[in-house]
A and B are shown apart, each in its own frame.
Chain A
Amino acid sequence: MKALDHARRGTALAVHDLSISLVSAAPIVENVGFALPPGGSLGIVGESGSGKTTLAMALVGHTGPGIRIASGRVEIAGRDILAAGPKEVAALRGRQIAYVPQDAPSALNPSMRAGDIVAEMLRIHAPERYGSDSIAKAMDLVDLPSDSAFLKRYPHQLSGGQQQRLAIAAAMAAEPRVLVLDEPTTGLDMITQKRILDEVGRLRARTGVAVVVISHDLEVVEELCDATLVLYAGRVVEQGPTRALLKVPAHPYTRGLIGAVARPGVRPRGMYGSAPPPNRRKGGCLFSPRCPQAHDDCREVNPAPQKAGPEHWVSCPYHVEKTIVEAAPIGERKRDTCEIPVLDIRDLTVAYRGQRVLKNVSLTIQRGERVALLGQSGSGKTTLGRCVAGLVDREAGDIRLNGTPLSPRVARRPRDQLRAVQMVLQNPYVSFNPQFTIGATLRRTMRMLCDPGRAAQPDRPRLLHLLERVRLPAEAADAYPAQLSGGELQRAAIAQALACAPDLIICDEATSALDVSVQAVVIELLRDLTEDEGVSLLVISHDLGVVGSISDRIYVLDQGLIVEHAPTPVLLASPKSDLAKRLIASRPDTAAGSTVFHATSQRTEKTHDTLHP
């Protein structure tokens, strides 16, 4: 299937010069245009705040409160859905274009049964087909069972992957020609993600539906889409055939995004800074403040799209100067392991509400070593981290820090142990008390944890030095948490962990709430800190890319049991356990055949088409 040859085959969806703004006229999305042929697929890639969800909703003729369409057309089946009256919009939705919202679990009405959710779509959008046959057909499309027992289940009785597939089944029930999928895999574990991607691929092959995929994840788009459009601060910075765009990215932002993707065996490169919000977008190229190759005129002149290849457009006049280099592979580190380990967990068993979530887990971390704990959701990996931190009680087993037993409860630990074990939590937005400035919280941590000799020193210079170590400017000290972005907050959380020379930092999914470019910044920071300061790291994650790019050694946790542990390169090259094999197979970059993310992996290259039957 060739992308963008819509001239011959007509268009399923055409967007002309679409601009969407806040009621205050601040632009959210500016001058977006694309055409999608019947059966084609387009990926819209952007980080949080790029306007991608606003754009996706506009495709089905919907705008949220406070948002309005400033100009442009969205043509579906030859009609402009933005100019259509309510009745016509209702007729277009469902039958011509359907939308699968982000976060399926919260999009599905919890009081409706699975069958009724699909039936309702039919009743409203295709009453002539209403009936159990059509419901069964829709369920069959996404490989969900259509027996009455399954149709009677409520959404909470389904797994995350099943919920997502049910949402897709409902959207497909009235047989639309275009399906808009908003972040279809976010929040799902790697193996389920892979399954959903395969499912959407099969769906396209069976029904010929055209797909628009909104995602922050380049790998998802690579897997699903013929063409890709990169959105930055509401503007299209690059647009073209996916393969060309990812293989020879022209815009510095696209190159930065690709370099920032965390993947095993590679050091991701972060992009500092963040995209300007709608009310702060001025003239010139909006990416220029973050751009490594910005010229003086970039800040003034609004870049016009230029041709970078066949059907490949880029909004950067300097795209020929390619300054961002490939992400660097990681060299192996040697450390002696004869000393007493920083952390020594032996036969740890933890029960929660009568159920054992960890069974006889043993794990050691040497000084300066970065150890990853890899597991699916529900494997008990978070419990392990919280148990080491003393936030969860254990049933049996022994945890030693530098050879000394750690008390099970944090409240019983002496100050020196509190100082030694630090934790960076998953959600940076709730890591700081919103009532205090970052500086106030950091100072309090220093006062409580550092030894008295150090506490006697003046606070401010030490605070600023601490912020400097995580590359935050001095202003951050006086900022309230609500004034910082997720990436900045997570760096501040790392600063808090570093405040008093810790021995071990536990990172519990510390990057999963962050954008790709910011995630790379945090990974880079954690790597540098361990190398420069000899801090040990316990990285808890479900993401093989993160784990593989940061750790020296990996433990694989499956349903409370350590099923495998090995040095990272060994485990990636020859996984022994079933889970590790499946996780590795679920990633486009570790599995054979990826067009872009294969560059630094040592696997044999196969053709891209083998992934898309």
Chain B
Amino acid sequence: MHLRELSPSGIVGTGIVLGVVAIALFGPIFFSGSTEIVGRPFMMPTPGHPLGLDGYGRDVLTRLMNGGLTILLLVTATTALVYAVGIPVGLFTALHSRALSASALWLFDCLLAFPPLLLVLLLAASTAGGVTAAVIAVAASQVPWVTRLVRAAASEVATSGYVDAARLRGESTWSIMWRELLPNIRATMLADLGLRITVSILLITSASFLGVGLRPPTADWGLMAAENRNGLALQPWAVLAPAAMIALLTVGVNLMFDAWPKTSGRRHSAELTENVA
């Protein structure tokens, strides 16, 4: 993958994502004291506090710089969990459509019936409501989609001659899954990855907003938007700034991943054909 192969929107998206990630990663190093009260609640921006203060009188910019890391970590964890379950199950069920596969899919279809946010609330409420519960709940609502997608894409590949050829030379199910199927559904998976990350961002921040998962006084963009919504009229920046960061991250991720599949995959010149012929 070369940057020059990306479309303009892909470059913009990648730039936005890199910027937001840089803020999330390096912000905490340069801006400390996110829980310090430095002035009057909902104070409008001043030269010392360019984004003003929040409902507790804490500096919005400092909190903004500290609030991205949690989201990044939670989204990464959620997405990793989703794919760690969805890919193997999807690949396996594409190869073997027997009773075991059928029941696994049936179970996942039941999960699909729940609205994702309701599932998040339900799971978080039935446990202690910690961060882990939020991650598992968000992942659980995403796994059925990924499994279905992997299965659909892999089923098509599974009828290819090279999968037959692999079975004929005695490859195990495991190696057919990882060697023959997965690399050949990569484009589909990448196209979906952007959507999965976006939905994870939305659900994780929604969970924070609803008070599930992360707890105050943690600096977190989702929490910040929730805490300060009462003061929207007094000091809009306390809500708009974190909301804008979430929006930027979402839009950037989508632009980036929409551009990727078009440029990934093997493209070969006809160069060799002539020599070989």
Which residues does A use to contact B, with CB under 8 Å? 272-274, 276-277, 279-280, 389-391, 410-411, 413, 415, 418, 421-423, 425-427, 430-435, 441, 444-445, 448-449, 472-473, 475-476, 479-480, 482-485, 488, 493, 496
A41 CA / B183 CA spacing, docked (Å): 49
Query: Does B188 lie at the interface of the complex (its beta carbon under 8 Å from any beta carbon of A)?
Result: no
Q: Does B160 contact A (CB under 8 A)?
A: yes
CB distance from A502 to the nearest CB of B (A): 11
* Cβ-defined contact, A389 with B168, below 8 A: yes
Contacts of B266 in A (CB 8 A): 434-435, 480, 482
Answer yes or no: B59 CB below 8 A from chain A CBs.
no
Interface membership of B171, Cβ < 8 A: yes
- Once the chains are docked, how many angstroms separate the CA of A484 from the CA of B272? 8
A485 touches B277 (CB 8 A): yes
- Contact partner of B275 (CB less than 8 A), chosen from A413, A426, A431, A475, is A475
Interface residues in B166-181 (C-beta closer than 8 Å to A): 166-171, 179-180
Which A-chain residue is minimally distant from B272 (CB atoms)? Answer: A483
Query: In whole angstroms, how far apart are the Cα atoms of A426 and B273 in the complex?
Result: 21
Residues in B241-277 with C-beta less than 8 Å from chain A:
266, 268-277
B160's closest neighbor in chain A, by CB? A430
- Give the Cβ gap from B97 to chain A, nearest Cβ, in Å: 13
Distance A413 CA – B169 CA, assembled complex (angstroms): 10
CB closest residue in chain B, given A280: B274
B32, CB-defined interface residue at 8 Å: no
Report the nearest A residue to B165, measured CB to CB: A431
Contacts of A279 in B (CB 8 A): 270
Q: A483-B270, A483-B273, A488-B277 are in contact. Are A433 and B162 (CB under 8 A)?
A: yes
Cα(A390)–Cα(B183), bound, Å: 25
Whether B273 and A422, one on each chain, are in contact in the complex, defined by CB atoms closer than 8 angstroms, is: no
Could you tell me if A444 and B164 are in contact, using CB atoms closer than 8 angstroms?
Answer: no
Docked CA distance A479–B277 (Å) = 12
Residue pair B167, A391 in contact (C-beta under 8 Å): yes
Give chain A residues whose Cβ lies under 8 Å from the Cβ of B169. Answer: 418, 444-445, 448-449
B160 touches A476 (CB 8 A): no
Residues of B within 8 A of A433 (CB): 162, 166, 179-180, 183-184
Q: Does B161 contact A (CB under 8 A)?
A: yes
Question: Closest CB-CB distance, B161 to chain A, in whole Å?
Answer: 4
Q: Give the shortest distance, in Å, between A514 (CB) and chain B (any CB).
A: 14
Most buried by B among A422, A423, A434: A434
Contact of B161 with A422 in the complex, beta carbons under 8 Å: no
Which A residues are in CB contact (< 8 Å) with B165? 423, 425, 431-432, 441, 445, 493, 496
Q: Are A475 and B276 within 8 A (Cβ)? A: yes
Given A430-B160, A435-B266, A410 and B277 contact (CB-CB distance below 8 Å): no
User: Using Cβ atoms and an 8 Å threshold, which residues of chain A touch B272?
Assistant: 475, 479, 483-484
Q: Is the CB of B271 within 8 A of A435?
A: no
Give which listed residue, B166, B271, B276, contacts A476 with CB less than 8 A. Answer: B276
Proximity string of chain B (132-167) to chain A, C-beta cutoff 8 Å, 1 when within and 0 when not: 000000000000000000000000000011101111
12 residue pairs A–B, Cβ–Cβ below 8 Å: A280-B270, A280-B274, A410-B167, A418-B170, A431-B162, A432-B161, A433-B166, A433-B184, A448-B171, A475-B272, A480-B266, A483-B270
> CB within 8 Å of A: which of B65-118?
none
Nearest CB on B from A478, distance (A): 8
> How far apart are A387's CB and chain B's nearest CB, in angstroms?
13
Contacts of A272 in B (CB 8 A): 277
- Contact check, A423 vs B164: say whether CB atoms are below 8 A apart: yes
Q: In the complex the two chains form, is A277's CB within 8 Å of B270's CB? A: yes
> A431–B162 Cα gap in the complex (Å)?
5
Distance in angstroms between the alpha carbons of A410 and B170 in the assembled complex: 7
Nearest chain B CB to A39's CB is how many angstroms away?
41
Chain A residues, Cβ within 8 Å of B162: 430-433, 441
Write the nearest CB–CB distance from A506 to chain B, whole angstroms.
10
Q: Residues of A contacting B269 with CB < 8 Å?
A: 483
Q: Which of B168, B170, B179, B276 contacts A479 (CB 8 A)?
A: B276
Distance between Cα atoms of A422 and B276 in the complex (Å) = 25
The interface residues of chain A lying within 8 Å CB-to-CB of B273 are: 274, 277, 483-485, 488
**Complex Cα gap A389–B272 (Å):** 33
Residues of B within 8 A of A483 (CB): 268-273, 276
- Give A277 Cβ to nearest chain B Cβ, in Å: 6
Judging by beta carbons under 8 Å apart, are B268 and A482 in contact?
yes
Q: Check if B274 sits within 8 Å of A434, measured CB to CB.
A: no
User: How far apart sit A7 and B168, CA to CA, in the bound complex (Å)?
Assistant: 62
Q: Are A473 and B275 in contact (CB under 8 A)?
A: yes
Across the interface, which residues of A come within 8 angstroms of B180, CB to CB?
433
Chain B residues lying within 8 Å of A432, measured Cβ to Cβ, are 161-162, 165
Instruction: For the complex formed, measure the closest distance between the CB of A489 and the CB atoms of chain B, giving whole angstroms.
Output: 10
Smallest CB-CB separation from B181: which chain A residue?
A433
Given the known inter-chain contacts A448-B170, A475-B272, A480-B268, please indicate yes or no for A425 contacting B161, CB distance below 8 A.
yes
Closest chain B CB from A89 CB (angstroms): 33
Of chain B, the residue at the smallest CB distance from A449 is B169
Chain B residues with Cβ under 8 A from A496's Cβ?
A: 165
Which residues of B lie under 8 Å from residue A493 when comparing CB positions? 165
CB distance B276 to A473 under 8 Å?
A: yes
Separation of A413 and B166 alpha carbons in the complex (Å): 14
A431→B28 CA distance, assembly (Å): 53
- The residue of chain B having its C-beta at the shortest distance from the C-beta of A418 within the complex is B170
A511 to chain B, nearest CB (A): 15
B91 to chain A, nearest CB (A): 15
| Shortest distance between the CB of B185 and any CB in chain A (Å) | 11
A31 to B272, CA, bound (A): 29
| Nearest B residue to A417, CB-CB | B170
Q: In the assembly, what is the distance between CA of A535 and CA of B75, in Å?
A: 58
Given contacts A276-B274, A483-B270, A484-B276, contact A434 B184 (CB under 8 A): yes
* Most chain A beta carbons < 10 A, residue from B180, B266, B269, B276: B276
Residue of B nearest to A410 (CB): B167
Q: How near does chain B come to A401, taking the closest CB pair, in angstroms?
A: 14
Q: What's the minimum C-beta distance from A492 to chain B, rounded to whole angstroms?
A: 10
- Measured between alpha carbons, how far is A411 from B170 in the docked complex, in Å? 6
Is the Cβ of A274 less than 8 Å from the Cβ of B277? yes
CB distance from A389 to the nearest CB of B (A): 6
| Cα of A492 to Cα of B62 in the assembled complex, Å | 63
Closest to A414 in B: B170
> Shortest distance in angstroms between B159's beta carbon and chain A's nearest beta carbon?
9
B170: chain A residues within 8 A (beta carbon): 410-411, 413, 415, 418, 448-449
Q: Nearest residue in B to A474 (C-beta to C-beta)?
A: B276
A488–B269 alpha-carbon span in the complex (Å): 16
Complex-state Cα separation, A473 to B268, whole angstroms: 19
Of B160, B168, B171, B273, the most chain A CB neighbours within 10 A belong to: B168
Give the complex CA separation of A472 and B273 in angstroms. 11
Interchain CA distance A493-B183 in the complex, whole Å: 21
Contact, CB under 8 Å: B274 / A422 = no
Q: For the complex, give the distance between the alpha carbons of A479 and B266 in Å.
A: 12
A479: chain B residues at CB < 8 Å are 272, 276
Q: How far is the CB of A386 from chain B (nearest CB, A)?
A: 8
Tell me whether A488 and B276 are in contact (CB under 8 A).
Answer: yes
> Known pairs A410-B170, A483-B269. 20 more at Cβ < 8 A?
A272-B277, A391-B164, A391-B167, A391-B168, A418-B168, A423-B164, A425-B161, A430-B160, A430-B162, A432-B162, A432-B165, A445-B165, A448-B171, A473-B275, A479-B272, A482-B266, A482-B268, A483-B276, A485-B277, A488-B273
Closest Cβ–Cβ distance, residue B50 to chain A (whole Å): 50
Chain B positions within 8 Å of A488 at CB level: 273, 276-277
User: What is the distance, in angstroms, from B95's C-beta to the closest C-beta of chain A?
Assistant: 11
B270 A410 Cβ-Cβ under 8 A? no
Minimum CB distance partner of B275 in chain A: A475
A433 to B170, CA, bound (A): 15
> A423 vs B168: C-alpha distance in the bound complex, in angstroms?
8
Q: Which residues of B contact A449 (CB under 8 A)?
A: 169-170
